[in-house]
């Protein structure tokens, strides 16, 4: 007759009978754990509720067996129950230890676990002061290593990275692995080394110009690989960090990086980063100072390339209101005009004139297309 009872009601009855009934809990344990991993997930759910509400001596043994002998769905369920079982007694070393074991055991980590583990991180953060420091460092290292191998870094993965990064060196190591794994794996795959919208977590671990220097020096070094996929990944990272400001000076770290490199005579690193710099009123002084350091034909050509890159509207796009000339083109033209006035007659002025001519060509092209569209004959 028991077999005729729907599984949902069997689980409810089992939970009710188990209350204070050690013999029944042992029998249920024997039944379930002798058949792992081929056990109904609902029964595992019920058993985890039972050991979370009853003083079961073999509690820890149960958790370890479920992790090591269970499947992905079972491990996912264990993650969800760890706080329920161990949280009330502030046994957070157990929670972190078992999360670490799950991370090391689960072969399909990126498919099933980031969201569930993220839900536990908030609880761990609140009680980090009572978690063994060495265990916590080890857990974070394992989490980073696992995330290095995931096919895509979604929002949950980004949050886990933000929690796990300890300093800029761990960030750089992670990025290097992801970027060059993308190169090895190639373009036509499900692997995405760096998300197209970058990684917000990086910026949270840049605490000084030294950190920023170290990161950008690494990116520029890797970019010497001259591989399309490497370059594309580096662009995504640069998009994530180019807008970060020094809280003390309120200047963009990228501007401070450029000036720092110029002071040290490293013109080429400075000009490489200048291409990513936002082209706006606040940054043109930095670009002008950079250009004034171009003292050889090769350096002047680098300036030309960098400045022409700011003619493009890139991700900003060209948006027009009411058929008028797009404001972004007008703004860029005005900024280049200010830069033109800052230079004496010579090669730098010629470069700025070329940039202004390019923008004028864009404006004329846009005006012509807009005129043709508005006056198009309709039949």
Is the residue at 180 inside a domain? no
pTM: 0.87
> How far is residue 155's CA from residue 254's CA, in Å, rounded to a whole number?
25
Residue 164: the pLDDT is 97
Q: What is the residue range of 96's domain?
A: 1-164
Contact residues for 316 (Cβ-Cβ < 8 A; gap 6+)? 328
Q: What is the DSSP string of 171-232?
A: HHHHHHHHHHHHHHH-SSSS--SS-TT--GGGGGG--SHHHHHHHHHHHHHHHTT--HHHHH
pLDDT tens for 320-376 read 555 567 888 899 999 999 999 999 999 999 999 999 999 999 888 877 765 555 566
**116 belongs to a structural domain:** yes
pLDDT per position in the chain (379 positions), as tens? 445 444 554 555 555 555 655 776 788 888 888 889 999 898 899 889 888 888 788 899 999 999 999 999 999 999 999 999 999 999 999 999 999 999 999 998 887 789 999 999 999 999 999 999 999 999 999 999 999 999 999 999 999 999 999 999 999 999 999 999 999 998 778 899 999 999 999 999 999 999 999 999 999 999 999 899 999 999 999 999 999 999 999 999 999 999 999 999 999 999 999 999 999 999 999 999 999 999 999 999 999 999 999 998 655 555 555 556 788 889 999 999 999 999 999 999 999 999 999 999 988 887 776 555 556 644 4
Instruction: Answer whether residue 367 is part of any domain.
Output: no
Q: 351 lies in a domain?
A: no
Domain count within the chain: 1
Tens of pLDDT, residues 81-99: 999 999 999 999 999 999 9
Decide if 62 contacts 99 (C-beta within 8 A): no
Residue at 107 is within a domain: yes
| Whole-number Cα distances in Å, 378 to 9, 368, 373, 374 | 70, 18, 11, 11
Residue 363 is encoded by which pair of tokens? 């404006």
């Amino acid at each position: 007759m028991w077999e005729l009872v729907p599984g949902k009601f069997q689980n409810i009855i089992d939970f009710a009978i188990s209350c204070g009934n050690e013999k029944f809990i042992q029998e249920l344990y024997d039944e379930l754990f002798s058949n792992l991993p081929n056990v109904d997930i609902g029964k595992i759910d019920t058993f985890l509720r039972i050991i979370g509400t009853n003083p079961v001596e073999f509690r820890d043994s149960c958790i370890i067996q479920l992790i090591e002998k269970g499947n992905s769905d079972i491990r996912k369920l264990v993650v969800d129950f760890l706080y329920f079982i161990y949280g009330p007694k502030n046994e957070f070393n157990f929670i972190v230890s078992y999360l670490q074991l799950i991370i090391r055991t689960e072969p399909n980590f990126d498919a099933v676990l980031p969201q569930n583990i993220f839900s536990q991180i908030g609880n761990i953060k609140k009680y980090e002061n009572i978690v063994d420091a060495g265990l916590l460092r080890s857990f974070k290292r394992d989490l980073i290593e696992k995330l290095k191998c995931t096919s895509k870094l979604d929002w949950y993965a980004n949050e886990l990275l933000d929690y796990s990064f300890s300093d800029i060196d761990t960030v750089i190591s992670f990025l290097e692995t992801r970027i060059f794994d993308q190169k090895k794996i190639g373009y036509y795959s499900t692997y995405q080394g760096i998300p197209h919208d970058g990684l917000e977590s990086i910026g949270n671990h840049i605490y000084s110009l030294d950190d920023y220097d170290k990161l950008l020096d690494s990116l520029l070094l890797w970019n010497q690989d001259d591989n399309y996929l490497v370059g594309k990944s580096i662009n995504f990272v640069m998009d994530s960090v180019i807008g970060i400001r020094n809280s003390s000076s309120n200047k963009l770290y990228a501007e401070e990086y450029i000036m720092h490199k110029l002071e040290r005579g490293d013109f080429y690193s400075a000009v490489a980063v200048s291409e990513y710099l936002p082209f706006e009123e606040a940054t043109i002084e930095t670009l002008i100072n950079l250009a004034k350091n171009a003292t050889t034909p090769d350096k002047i050509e680098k300036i030309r390339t960098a400045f022409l890159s700011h003619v493009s509207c890139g991700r900003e796009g060209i948006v027009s209101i009411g058929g008028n000339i797009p404001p972004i083109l007008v703004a860029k033209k005005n900024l280049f005009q200010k830069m033109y006035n800052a230079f004496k007659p010579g090669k730098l002025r010629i470069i700025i004139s070329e940039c202004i001519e390019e923008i004028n060509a864009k404006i004329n092209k846009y005006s012509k297309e807009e005129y043709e569209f508005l006056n198009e004959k309709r039949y």
